[in-house]
Amino acid sequence: MMIYMDHAATTQTAPEVVEAMMPYFTECYGNAGSIYRLGSQSKKAVINAKETIAETLGAEANEIYFTSGGTESDNWALKAVYEAYRDKGRHIITTRIEHHAVLHTCEYLQKRGAQITYLDVDEEGMVDVKQLEGAIRPDTILISVMYANNEIGTLQPVREIGEIAAAHGILFHTDAVQAYGQLPINVAECHIDLLSASAHKFNGPKGVGFLYINRRVRMHSFMHGGQQERGRRAGTENVPGIAGLAAAVKRAYRIMEEKTKKEVELRDYLMMRIEREIPDVRLNGHRTMRLAGNVNFSFEAVESESTLIMLDMKGICASGGSACTTGALDPSHVLLAIGLSPELARGSIRFTIGEENTKEEIDTVVEELARIIAKLREMRGI
């Protein structure tokens, strides 16, 4: 038996996505840059994929650039904006709870002369828009705030942030890796200039994603080489991956409403049962302004490592903090930022529900979890 509740780490590639990719491995293997028919078939797949994605965002097809995933999109957005606009200013505003793809890129830019303001968040993980507006300086060139947090699921007031950025003539990037494909996003309505997304978070293949770049943004090339992606991101296009990404986008938007409804029901049921049946727990993140499938709790007096190992022995896949920090003993920067003590942060477990999970699975998870937490506390004499 396996119960997979780690959909924020990654998802299964959907059969219809694999099917959409297959021809580009087998008969349609041409280079999208080649002139003959075999090449133009691939080029057509790339163009169609851009159109599919652009339509979901309310953007233009030529504003979509394919990348190797969320990490590359975040790196590109921040580094290229800094390079192109540093004559105008060197100040970037972001938050303490961003993914490391943004935070470590900011640290890198700091070493190259950028000045970064890291906004605090409240105890539910929400950015204060007033504080954000107060942090703006004449030399601010970019605001980068994630759409939804990967650990605690909190959704940020992206539209308000976009309006503030636009009113001050500052570019706005959002890391939407956890949000795109899960909920509707319109870049014009939210004044988003750059948006990162990744296919493997919504049943697409791993290692492919995109960066939306508004056409008025001045951006340097990220990868140097050939003229692919209008000279902005060199390298032979990952045509099977791109076709898979487009198929995953179509699927995600087709099932979005129903999937969200189901996940919210299961999420609220899981949260209710944990709070009712396990003593000394704390819900992390906002109770309602959170991703449909995200549940994150801290359990007093237990180490998440031990809980995760014991859950795994029962076939249950969950995560402590984020997948990228699992294995590291440092408490999650996100949980510290919402005010948890290092001890409580180390006792946190994230369950991220997906469309295939059932109420029976939630029942099993709660029963096993309650037993494991009680046992671990008993071993510590609590």
Please give the residue ranges that form the binding site for ligand PLP (CB under 6 A): 69-71, 74, 99, 101, 146, 150, 175, 177-178, 198, 209
Sheet holding 171-175, edge to edge: 64-67, 209-213, 194-198, 171-175, 140-144, 91-95, 115-119
Nearest Cα to 145, choosing from 156, 134, 153, 154?
Answer: 156
Distances 52 to 20, 49, 103, 148, 251 between C-alpha atoms, Å: 14, 5, 30, 22, 11
The CB-nearest residue to ligand PLP is 70
3 state DSSP class of 91: strand
Cα dihedral value 120, 125, 130, 135, nearest 10: 30
Residue (101 or 219) nearer to ligand PLP, CB: 101
Of 146 and 211, the one with the shorter C-beta distance to ligand PLP is: 146
Decide if 190 is catalytic.
no
| Burial category of 161 from C-beta neighbours within 10 Å (exposed 0-12, middle 13-18, buried 19 and up) | buried
**CB of 94 or CB of 178, closer to ligand PLP:** 178
The two beta strands, 209-213 and 194-198, are antiparallel
Min dist. Cβ of residue 66 to ligand PLP (A)? 12
CB of 250 to ligand PLP, least distance (A): 19
Amino acid at 214: N
Which tokens in the block code for residue 60? 């233009």
Among 176, 182, 181, 189, which Cα is nearest to 144's? 176
Q: Are strands 209-213 and 281-283 parallel, antiparallel or unpaired?
A: unpaired
How far apart are CB 167 and ligand PLP at their closest, in Å?
A: 26
Contact yes or no for 125/93 (Cβ under 8 A): no
Location of structure tokens 């580009």: 24
* Least distance between ligand PLP and beta carbon 324 (Å): 6
Three-class SS of residue 356? coil
What is the separation of C-alpha 274 from the centre of its chain, rounded to a whole number of angstroms?
25
Closest distance of CB 178 from ligand PLP, Å:
5
Least distance from C-beta 279 to ligand PLP, angstroms?
Answer: 31
Smallest gap from residue 105 Cβ to ligand PLP (A): 11
Contact 132, 144 (CB under 8 A): no
Structure tokens at 358: 């059932």
Known catalytic residues are 324
